[in-house]
């Protein structure tokens, strides 16, 4: 088992300008209930953190559903990407990386970031 890392340590990663972690307000009902913000760090306001959380939760539920359906359709196919642990959304100014354990970071696109390294740290945040 990997050792969990502190949520605040995500700010030490190149390119990370802010981060948020959250949980479902009613376990098992993420699609039907708004998520609950646990904390946010870095250069983002609480309003921005709540929007990031809500958008990441909605996108994550959709992406996870697609991944599971793909796996059920062809579980024998080694090219099926499952289990899924993260997704990355790129935009002109900043990008978002979100892990299925409900942690998201905002990236400054002017900084060269190692996305795989960032994800490997994000999935170690104990978010229970």
Mean pLDDT across the chain, nearest whole number?
87
Q: What is the pTM of this model?
A: 0.86
**Predicted confidence (pLDDT) per residue in 77-101, tens digit:** 777 666 778 999 998 888 999 998 9
> Does 128 map to a domain?
no
Residue 20 counted as domain residue = yes
The whole domain housing 38 covers 7-122
Residue 78 inside a domain? The answer is yes
Name the residue among 113, 99, 108 with its Cα closest to residue 63.
Answer: 99
Considering the domain boundaries, does residue 60 fall inside one? yes
Please state the domain count of the chain.
1
Residue 37 belongs to domain with CATH number = 3.30.450.30
Residue 1 resides in a domain: no
Within a domain: 28: yes
What's the CA gap between 28 and 83, in Å, rounded?
A: 18
């Amino acid at each position: 088992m990997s050792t969990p890392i502190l949520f605040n340590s995500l700010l030490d990663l190149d390119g990370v300008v802010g981060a948020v972690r959250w949980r479902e307000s009613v376990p098992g009902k993420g699609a039907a209930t708004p998520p609950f913000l646990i904390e946010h760090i870095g250069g983002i306001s609480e309003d921005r953190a709540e929007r990031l959380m809500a958008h990441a939760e909605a996108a994550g539920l959709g992406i996870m559903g697609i991944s599971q359906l793909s796996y059920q359709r062809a579980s024998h196919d080694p090219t099926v990407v499952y289990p899924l642990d993260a997704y990355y959304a790129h935009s002109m100014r900043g990008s978002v990386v979100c892990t299925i354990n409900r942690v998201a970071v905002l990236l400054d696109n002017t900084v060269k970031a190692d996305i795989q390294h960032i994800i490997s740290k994000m999935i170690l945040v104990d978010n229970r």
